[in-house]
Structure 1
């Protein structure tokens, strides 16, 4: 990666005023990310607030039921606020403090990033605005209440489909208007440079821990690392420390209803270039997934590069397959996964059958399914 580019992907395609802000953000990030005092503060909150290290759990019952490879779960669902999102939020809010920001804005789809952002803003006493598509607000009403309980103002976005893409649009417009005192705490590895590299940096703690944990318990690297892929933050975090290990397969799992990497084409979206789903007029295509956090027509630029170079594989599963995985893991492991993570579980169970008993799969269980129980209840009731 050079100047925010991963091959042809990434970059910064934004108005001049916004580029000035992004240059300042890049300088601050490069200054602080390796600063010992910054690292020490991040590590403090990772341990004492997020609750890291979280476990790498052997899914014994799932492994026995499926057959084939051993399946391990990286338990991001056990983090404070229930997902991987808090890792990045703590890193960015510590950066925002150092930059003198007096107002935080964020976007959210499934609501987990919004909850994590509202949580951190409450702890650090910083005003917080969360943009969320109206459609997502309706299906994730519990997370909306959580954000408001934590003191955030949740702004419904009615433009477009009222989903994650539209929330990102609204947040970027806010940043352009209020950049002098506002920090955009972006939730995924999307947007113009330095956002993708910054989010990856803070989420790479997932694979840093998982790699050490699997070597400790199994004495070898996994055969494959599997993670769901929407915007791509949990997946790039799960992949990061394995990218140079060429014998480890990296597999991102998309919803078939929003197959960005399996069917998309290179295009500019939200100020960066990535594989994008386009309609017949060349605009970002409407998408839908039962998992609001995967409902995005683009993907992080590094994922686009990993796809193009063949270093990572990207596959798609249906919403029905994810729903069955949601129920399966709940029933036989006592772990209710997020619908986003259920996509990764669904593919891992297929993959495990084709591998041997001495193979190992790590699935990044990126979030817990508390937020989805009401939605699944209504879906099941409607059958």
Structure 2
């Protein structure tokens, strides 16, 4: 990629690097060297993509959203259907790639962090498929609001550890995963789920997720014989957005829009927007340097989002750099906008997006008036919404759903 030419290895402008205990340096060196040996190896990529094709269901469709397009009467809207991957989200792309790295390194145990639970489920699926032991760390708050995914992780054979520290969300699950890895690195691989953490994780996760934009480019060329004009993706840690954006980074005609969790809105103190609301500050935490939500004393602040997968204090160092140089425009969508987008997409297209993905739809809907009828808009739908049924039922104030949940709970108590 020309856009990264001349940057020191592991750094993206002032962001990136690896700030970890000394005992983890040899482990990261080993991981970096292994990844460097395969990232330009066509045989490795073919093995990786064959695994995705045969086990995970790639390539995923690029669905023309005819009803939404006609409803707005503006640009033509396409939806990249990562929800149709095995396990229901884009996360499986990364974990299957890291599984092949694990085999090369001779590791037999995998650990992972998870927020919304989709990375945890994907890691549990991968561990069962490959015969690894798996431990998944998840904030206790996220366990409560994403319990269906916890159920599936455990039934796939993974051990799920609810982390009670801090705000009991994703950042705390990452901290606990790092502690485990530091103690057990001889046989354990940390399958980090997003484009954060110490080098080589941001580059490696981007590499494995870039299959998304590779397919978008191929599919649009076959269908429309042109590039998209706009690509939207939600932006938490950054894995699905980097996956959707990567192949277009050097195509300056393509507008790339990442959408953070605006929560209760700018100025509310209840959101997870590091860039769009200009509330983040550059700092070092969890092994890398990037923009974090932190106070004047450098202490990490509480975050809020209706979506567990975007409820994170930091952002990919690659995303921070791309925002700084103006290549990626970062917006934020509030919880209210997200629920309205969820309802519209579900009812117009018969497609149920995850709350994370609904942030991307919300920004697209807000921007739609800016687009001409000949423009092509792609929304990366990072995951499916059935995992969010409890959150969505509550947010919609669905009395029948709440009655069902209460009656079901009462029946278990009896």
TM-score range, shorter chain: over 0.9
Aligned partners of 2:373, 2:41: CA distance in 1, in Å? 43
Deviations 1:186-243 (A, max 9, x none): 1000000000000000000000000111122112111111100000000001000000
Deviations 1:129-170 (A, max 9, x none): 000000000000000001001000000000000000000000
Is the partner of 1:261 in helix, strand or coil? coil
Q: 1:275 deviation in Å? A: 1.2
Aligned partners of 2:41, 2:323: CA distance in 1, in Å? 32
- 2:370 is aligned with 1:364: no
Aligned partners of 2:167, 2:398: CA distance in 1, in Å? 23
Assess if the C-alpha contact under 8 Å between 1:12 and 1:272 holds in 2. Answer: yes
Q: CA RMSD for the aligned pairs?
A: 1.1
Is the partner of 1:273 in helix, strand or coil? strand
In structure 2, the partner of 1:50 is 56
Q: 1:353 deviation in Å? A: 1.8
**204, 212, 229: which is aligned to 2:210?**
204
- 2:154 is aligned with 1:148: yes
Aligned partners of 1:72, 1:267: CA distance in 2, in Å? 37
Uncovered stretches (5+) of structure 1, i.e. residues with no partner: none
**242, 260, 267: which is aligned to 2:274?**
260
Trace 1:288-303 onto structure 2 (pairs within 5 A).
Answer: 288-303=304-319
Of the two, which has the highest radius of gyration? 2
In structure 1, the partner of 2:353 is 337
- 2:230 is aligned with 1:216: no
Given the two structures, how large is their TM-score scaled by the length of structure 2?
Answer: 0.91
Aligned partners of 2:334, 2:397: CA distance in 1, in Å? 19
With over 3 angstroms needed to count, the CA separation of the structure-2 counterparts of 1:217 and 1:382, relative to structure 1, is closer
Assess if the C-alpha contact under 8 Å between 2:283 and 2:298 holds in 1. Answer: no
In structure 1, the partner of 2:181 is 175
Uncovered stretches (5+) of structure 2, i.e. residues with no partner: 1-6, 263-270, 400-414
Given the two structures, how large is their TM-score scaled by the length of structure 1?
Answer: 0.98
Is the partner of 1:212 in helix, strand or coil? helix
Aligned partners of 1:307, 1:381: CA distance in 2, in Å? 37
In structure 2, the partner of 1:115 is 121
Q: 1:382 deviation in Å? A: 7.2
Trace 1:1-383 onto structure 2 (pairs within 5 A).
Answer: 1-256=7-262, 257-262=271-276, 263=278, 264-381=280-397
Q: 1:44 deviation in Å? A: 1.6
Aligned partners of 1:382, 1:221: CA distance in 2, in Å? 41
Assess if the C-alpha contact under 8 Å between 2:116 and 2:142 holds in 1. Answer: yes
Q: 1:280 deviation in Å? A: 3.8
Per mean C-alpha deviation after superposition, the further-off stretch among 209-218 and 30-39 is: 30-39
Assess if the C-alpha contact under 8 Å between 1:9 and 1:273 holds in 2. Answer: yes
